[in-house]
Structure 1
Amino acid sequence: MNSPTLHLDRLDAALFGLDDVVVDSALLHAAAWQRTFDSFLRRRGRRAGLHSTEGTGDGTRIPSFELPGDYLRYAAGRTTAEGVRGFLTARGIALADHSPAPGEETVRTLADHKDACFGEEVRRVGVNAYHASVDLLRDLAARGVRLAAVAGDRSCEQLLSAAGIAGLFDVCVDGGDTTLLGLPALPDPGLLLEATRRLGVSPRRTAVLSGSLVGVEAGWHGCFEPVVAVDRYARADDFYRRGAHVVVRDLAELVLSGRCRQELLAHR
């Protein structure tokens, strides 16, 4: 079987998702999501006067946040608020996005709680970058390919700093930019297109490397080429259905071919 190849004569830039692609942070995200929703459902059950930790006012049991399924379905690659809405909707729970009443639980309060839990997990456990991903980033940069880090939530700078790899990227965009600029959330390609705008490159000459279904779908909708899915949970068929051109288990599988124009000119 031939190794999947990145043809550098066709590339000016590459956009890297962080979770499961560059850093091993997905399990920390998942743990923070589980803590957030488990505590929310316990509080909801107590208010309803139930003995069960999860339930509704009529005694119907609400399934708790399950790993890794619920994380991959509702949260991976999305803004924190979108992850909250997705899980609550799946469990038949409606909350307002915001509320003027102090102490009332909303989508925003749950999102803030999840982000705080994630920060605690990062400080407690730490974050490591995948060696193959760091090697690829350095190789691409040496060949003149511009690099951007992309995160659907607001964790981009936090993760890069914790892993000690902030200096590898030219640009960092995340859910904070989505809010600030009024961009639609992934799988809309707006955040990816903002990264290419800052880099001054065309999506047609920009690779997207993502570990989430919504990230891959955004790359396909934005006409990026190639779209590479990093599949650490055996979901290759799902990634191909969302628009991936290539699916790998680890970035060590990728082979670089050719040199960018910048390197060719430097050797003339």
Structure 2
Amino acid sequence: MNKGMDAPSGTGPGPSGVDGLGPGIRACLFDLDGVLTRTASLHATAWKQTFDTFLRSYDAEHHLEYKPFDKEHDYEEYVDGKPREDGVRDFLASRDIHLPEGTENDPSGMNSVHAVGAAKQDAFLTLLNEHGPQVFEGSVRFVRAAKSEGRLCAVVTSSANCAAVLQAAGIDGLFDTTVDGNDVTSQHLKGKPAPDSYLAAAKALNVEPSAAAVFEDALAGVESGRAGGFGVVVGVDRLGDGQGERLSRHGATVVVKDLAELLTAEAAG
């Protein structure tokens, strides 16, 4: 967990800038990939490369018809927003494939859950180096407006690459604390859709969950916000095609296509 500064006690939001959260919301907790940065597509591509390589080999060995990983349905349903190894387990279980767990030291490969996870990490880092992280400008404007009102801001992500992505995107200085995949492992937190990581961020900021808003683009993420009893759960619909309805069904209390929709006209301009 990276805590950038001490959380001020009793600080409330100011009078302008952010709409739709309510005056009792003192903290904003943001998912990273797909909410703040355009890295969700890189993760989806890395998962597809990894799983397709695995499935070609596995299906050929077991005389099965090869069915590739679907970057939209399979990504959203089984891996988006979850810790890496949970994503491996859940997707492979959907194909009735069960690998040994292995260990965190397993090299990139296909013979264990951790080895497949390591292969995905290698693929993601290659893509990140090639393309770099791009931010959603509306989200950055929203974070700046929220902080100008005295609201605390945190990043809560299942990714172990949080610090590197924030730094590369030039937005690491905007946040009071982060809870990432490394913290999930070291603190033995349950991954999303469990609320543990968001609750850990609220605790680090000395804010009750009811006084915090969660911002998520993943179904597992809005589920974790609902399970944690957070005051507002904002679903960010980056996909269209019914994604907004799915986010609502899974726990979002507000759905927007971009966080700029939650800014006042003055702040948005």
TM-score bucket of the superposed structures, by smaller chain: 0.7 to 0.9
Pick aligned residue for 1:225 from 214, 231, 243: 231
User: Partner of 1:112 in structure 2?
Assistant: 118
Deviation, structure 1 residue 101:
9.4
Pick aligned residue for 1:21 from 35, 43, 62: 35
Distance between the aligned counterparts of 2:256 and 2:37, measured in 1?
16
Deviation, structure 1 residue 74:
1.0
> Where in structure 1 are there 5+ consecutive unaligned residues?
45-53, 258-268
Alignment coverage as a number of residue pairs? 244
User: Partner of 2:248 in structure 1?
Assistant: 240
Deviation, structure 1 residue 201:
0.6
Residue type at the aligned position of 2:253? H
**What TM-score, normalized to structure 2?**
0.86
Pick aligned residue for 1:176 from 157, 176, 182: 182
Deviation, structure 1 residue 61:
1.0
| Contact preservation (8 Å) 2:21, 2:232 | no
The alignment partner of 2:20 has SS state of strand
Distance between the aligned counterparts of 2:61 and 2:78, measured in 1?
21
Deviation, structure 1 residue 155:
2.3
User: Partner of 1:211 in structure 2?
Assistant: 217
| 1:22-42 Cα deviation digits (max 9, x unpaired) | 101111001110111122223
| Contact preservation (8 Å) 1:150, 1:172 | yes
**What TM-score, normalized to structure 1?**
0.86
| Aligned CA-pair RMSD | 2.0
| Contact preservation (8 Å) 1:15, 1:209 | yes
Runs of 4+ in 1 over 6 A off after TM superposition: 99-104
Deviation, structure 1 residue 255:
3.2
Deviation, structure 1 residue 236:
1.4
Indicate how the Cα distance of structure 1 residues 213 and 101 shifts in structure 2: closer, same or farther if over 3 A, else same. Answer: closer
User: Partner of 2:262 in structure 1?
Assistant: 254
User: Partner of 1:262 in structure 2?
Assistant: none
Residue type at the aligned position of 1:17? D
| Contact preservation (8 Å) 1:122, 1:162 | no
User: Partner of 1:38 in structure 2?
Assistant: 52
Pick aligned residue for 2:93 from 82, 89, 94: 89
Distance between the aligned counterparts of 1:177 and 1:209, measured in 2?
19
1:77 and 2:81 equivalent? yes
> Where in structure 2 are there 5+ consecutive unaligned residues?
1-17
User: Partner of 1:66 in structure 2?
Assistant: 70
The alignment partner of 1:6 has SS state of coil
| Contact preservation (8 Å) 2:29, 2:198 | yes
Paired residues for 1:152-167 under 5 Å: 152-167=158-173
Q: Which has the larger radius of gyration?
A: 1
